[in-house]
Amino acid sequence: MDSANLLTAVAAAEPNAKPREKADRAAVQVPVGNLSALMKRLRNDSTFAFDMLCDHTAVDWSEQGTFELVYQLYSTVHGHYLMVTTSVPRVSPIVPTVREFWRIAEFQEREVYDMFGVLYDGHPDLRRLFLEDDWKGFPLRKDYTDDFMLERPE
Amino acid sequence: MGIITEKLPCYIEPIPGGSLLLTSMDAVINWSRANSLWPLTFGTSCCAIEMMMATGAPRHDTSRFGAEVARPSPRQADLLVIAGTIVRRMAPRLKTLYEQMGEPRYVMATGSCAISGGPFMYNSYSTIRGADEIIPVDVYVPGCPPRAEAFFYGLLTLQKLIKEGESVRRPGERRKPVLSALPPGITLDQIRAEMAAVLKSDATVNVEQAAKKLEKESQDGQCESADGCCCSRT
Amino acid sequence: MSVHITTLDDRVRLRQDDSSPLSTQEYFVNMGPQHPSTHGVLRLVLKLDGETVREVIPVLGYIHRGIEKMGEHQSYRQFVHLSDRLDYLSALINNWAVSMTIEKAANIELNDRIQVIRTLMAELQRIQSHQLWWGVFGMDLGAFTPFLYGFRDREIIADIFEETVGARLTMNYIQPGGLMYDIHPGFVKRVKAFLQYFKPKLAEYETLLSGNVILQERLRGVGRMDGQTALSIGATGPVLRASGVPLDLRKSEAYGSYGKVAFDVVIGKNGDCWDRYWVRLEEMRQSMKIVEQLIDNIPEGKHMVMKPAVKIKLPEGCYYNQVETARGILGVYIVSDGKESPYRIHLRTPNFNNLWAITETAANWRLGDLVAILSSLDVVVPDIDR
């Protein structure tokens, strides 16, 4: 499916999904409550058949006070891409895990937890991935500081 | 051991009915150590590939310098080549590796990352800015990554240092090139403290006076080593 | 809702408790971070039953340098040089991935010369990367000669790169808007000489290692992974293709000059170590085929379509783009807020995703097989940790 058809199909499947603007490919934005249901549909429905979770990451929109979680999906059956995003508040960043649909999500979600402190509900093994277990803070947050990091002098 | 490129540190005394080999044990032991360095196969990132090109690959032959026996176990190696970035999580492990190596051990930091953090120096919450913050380094080989030729230059420099410096009686305690250039009685820490004081005060500082003061202090201090060795304060 | 945060200690303890009283005693062993066959500072916590591997728990972060945080403080051009140091064996292809994302976002049109040279360089890099893998793979399985052969042939490509680029490993050659330099006048001649040289050598690789009965025994049927598992675990590149999924972005996206050349996507049948071995060897052949088709037809033109001094600002928005490196799909995700440096830059690296295949494939194989499986996945650790 091309991106216009894909967006229509996703909108039909999940009425709460709105197109995400300013993206270079088909992209939808869903409320965090509908994420799990939409992902299940996208994975299992044969019209979508997104069998690969290419990438999962987060963006810290510190001024809006939210984390935007980004899922890049690809279907080897149809050859189409879809970007799914959802927003969670920075103060209580809890999202459902999508590990049951794609095994790799377990590790990509651990990375996002490690770097941003996003908590995944239902994750079987949520722990730090790159940093030590006793590390303080989440380095990719915009307000992260520690006494080790050096700023580049202007 | 490879091709011997220099003379054995000894001389031969011709005596009637044969000849006598005269040498000092230190010189011979250092000479043999320098020519049989066993590197540890340790690489963290890009520099490891160029190190493999230098030590393992067929184009460059490290056995010319007696350093072809790469060992995966630190207990069998005496040269630690830090090839690549050291990050905060790796730092304690690097220290362990170093401590597991038997004395005498030598460390070569290859590449910008191991020297100073290199391209990962600024804005990284994780990269250690130079492996010498963790363990003492003998030779620095710059490059990103250093070519095989640079690696060999570093290896030859290390061999030279070993032949010149170390005492077999006290392994590990060797003349550091930086320290040996300092006036006697002044340690690097004293100079650093003095520099910090200079930077803090806005007045013009009389450097000669400061040096005299340091000299006086050092003369007052007791000689700590029993045999009056040159490595501590005289 | 319940979110539990665990630690490695918890994990190791938990799993120790659940063994039934009838089973033999299981124990944990650390492999790495300093281990010759983990190809860097990868640490695997192994749950062993005798010599049989029950479970593999990869522990990462021993070369995590915080590249994504650094990217937020650098200009787009500066970030390209960091991409060299991810998967340094595919340095040029990584440069290309970052540059292509920036070019697509900024609507920079490239001429044919740039595209053809990029494709040529990427394919040479792929051959070089597979040569190194082949050599190291042999060494991991106990044969030292392949290491010497692989490195001998790798040097020739390194020389070709050095002549044009000036560097051997971390090249920073492909830039947003073109190439750092034009190709050296001797480039075409040397590449042709290399093709002449390497074709018989590849046959030699086959006779030296592929037919070896020990190698066959150690690879065939070991570490099997079917296509659906491979997709679910996010594996790409030769690892995925060995499991029979013909996903190759060079074919499906046809970026660069790949649309103009004829080549086959090599796929395996069983997804075992042997298929992963065989796919990579075949890929070297296909890469040579691509280079052969392009080397005589490099069009005229400039090597840079914009001035290198121009500062790049991307329009506000988010951009995701992928290329096929020697190890799989490298995706670059850039979020721009209209400034000179990205608001957020994220790299979907092939090795990070490929690595987890070890948790699926290595269970119930012997420790010696684990080395073969890990080596057949061909991981580059700084690319995992970033």
Task: Note the pLDDT tens digit of each residue in C108-127.
Answer: 888 888 899 999 999 999 99
Within a domain: A149:
no
pLDDT at C100 over 70: yes
Q: Does A94 touch chain C (CB under 8 A)?
A: yes
Region C121-149: mean pLDDT is: 89
For the entire predicted model, the pTM comes to 0.81
> Chain C partners of A57 at a C-beta cutoff of 8 Å?
333, 346, 348
Handedness of CA C205, C207, C210, C216 (dihedral sign): negative
* Nearest-CA distance B131 → chain C (Å): 13
Buried-state track A76-98, b at ≥16 Cβ within 10 A, e below 16: beeebbbbbbbbbebeebebbbb
The class level of CATH for B33-175 reads alpha beta
When scoring A21, A52, A86 by the number of chain C Cβ atoms within 10 A, the one with the most, hence best to mutate, is A52
Q: What are A's interface residues with B at a Cβ cutoff of 8 A?
A: 130-132, 139, 144, 146, 148-152
Our CA-based measurement puts residue B122 at a distance from the nearest CA of chain A, in whole angstroms, of: 5
List pLDDT tens digits, range C312-347: 888 888 899 999 999 889 999 999 988 888 899 999
Residues 6+ apart with CB under 8 A from A63: none
**Sequential pLDDT tens for chain B (234 residues):** 445 555 666 666 666 666 666 566 667 777 788 888 888 888 888 888 888 888 877 888 888 888 878 888 888 888 888 888 899 888 888 888 888 888 788 888 888 888 888 888 888 888 888 888 888 888 888 888 888 888 888 888 888 778 776 544 444 554 443 333 345 566 667 766 766 665 565 444 455 665 666 667 666 654 443 343 333 333
Q: What is the pLDDT of residue C96?
A: 92
What single string gives the DSSP state of each residue in A67-88? EEEEEEEE-TTT--EEEEEEEE
Distance CA C104, CA C174 (A): 15
pLDDT given at position A71: 92
Q: Which domain holds residue A43?
A: 3-121
What are C's interface residues with B at a Cβ cutoff of 8 A? 33-36, 40-41, 61-67, 69-70, 72-74, 81-82, 84-85, 88-89, 132, 147-148, 151-152, 154-155, 158, 168-170, 381-382
Q: In this complex, do C63 and B74 lie within 8 Å of one another by their Cβ atoms?
A: no
| Residue of A57, A110, A127 whose CA lies nearest to A86 | A57
Of the candidates B74, B87, B123, the beta carbon closest to that of C62 is on B87
In terms of Cβ atoms closer than 10 Å to its own Cβ (0-12, 13-18, 19+), residue A63 is: exposed
**With a CB-CB cutoff of 8 Å, which residues 24-43 of chain A face chain C?**
24-25, 27
Partner residue opposite C247 with nearest CB, options A59, A76, A107:
A76
When CB atoms are compared, the residue of B53, B72, B127 closest to C36 is B72
Instruction: Find, among C236, C300, C296, C303, the residue nearest to C261 by Cα.
Output: C296
Task: List, for residues A7-53, the tens digit of each pLDDT value.
Answer: 888 778 777 878 787 878 888 888 888 888 888 888 888 888 888 89
Residue at A15 is within a domain: yes
Please name the helix (run of DSSP H) or strand (run of DSSP E) that holds residue A57, with its range, or none.
Answer: strand A52-61
Burial annotation B82-103 (CB, 10 A radius, 16+ → b, else e):
bbbbbbbbbbebbeebbeebee
- Asked if B85 is an interface residue toward chain C (Cβ–Cβ < 8 A), one would say yes
- Count of domains in chain A? 1
Q: List chains adjacent to chain B, taking adjacency as at least 3 C-beta pairs closer than 8 Å.
A: A, C
Chain A touched by C353 (CB under 8 Å): yes
The counts of H helices and E strands in chain A are: 3, 7
Measured CA to CA in angstroms, residue A141 lies from A118, C77, C95 at distances of 10, 23, 26
C219 pLDDT higher than 60 = yes
- Using a CB-CB distance cutoff of 8 angstroms, which residues of chain C are in contact with residue B119? 81-82, 85
Nearest-by-CA chain C residue for B97 = C34
User: Mean pLDDT, chain C, as a whole number?
Assistant: 86
Q: At what angle do helices B46-55 and B148-165 cross, to 10 degrees?
A: 70
In a domain, A7, yes or no: yes
User: Chains near C, with 3+ CB pairs < 8 A?
Assistant: A, B
Q: Which two tokens stand for residue A154?
A: 């202007």
What residues are paired with B20 via a beta bridge? B13
- Whether B124 has its CB under 8 Å from any CB of chain C: the answer is yes
A154 domain residue, yes or no = no
Closest-approach residue (CA) in chain A for C348: A55
Place of tokens 């997709």: C231
Contact status, residue B117 vs residue B127, Cβ threshold 8 Å: yes
Which of B85, B87, B126 has the highest number of chain A CBs within 10 A, making it the mutation to test binding with A? B126
Q: If you write DSSP's letter for every residue of C244-272 in order, what string do you get?
A: T----HHHHT--TTGGGS-------SS-S
How far apart, in whole angstroms, are the C-alpha atoms of residue C44 and residue A28? 38
Encoding tokens for residue C204?
Answer: 């030699």
For A105, the closest chain C residue by CA position comes to C233
Report yes or no: B29 and B171 within 8 Å, Cβ to Cβ: no
- In order of B94, C56, C59, C356, the CA distances from C51 in angstroms are 28, 13, 21, 21
Q: Give the CATH number of the domain where residue A17 resides.
A: 3.30.460.80
Q: Provide the residue ranges of all domains of chain B, joining segments of one domain with +.
A: 33-175, 182-220
Distance from CA of A54 to the nearest CA of C (A): 7
Chain B neighbors of A141, CB-CB under 8 A? none
Taking an 8 Å cut-off on Cβ atoms, the answer to whether C68 and A115 are in contact is: yes
- A93 domain-assigned: yes
Distance CA B128, CA B87 (A): 5
Which CATH fold topology does C111-307+357-385 show? Cytochrome-c3 Hydrogenase; chain B (1.10.645)
Instruction: Using an 8 Å CB-CB cutoff, list chain B residues near C152.
Output: 57-59
Tell whether C92 lies on the interface with A, counting CB pairs under 8 A: no
Instruction: Measure in Å the smallest separation between the Cα of A107 and chain B Cα atoms.
Output: 19
A142 domain residue, yes or no: no
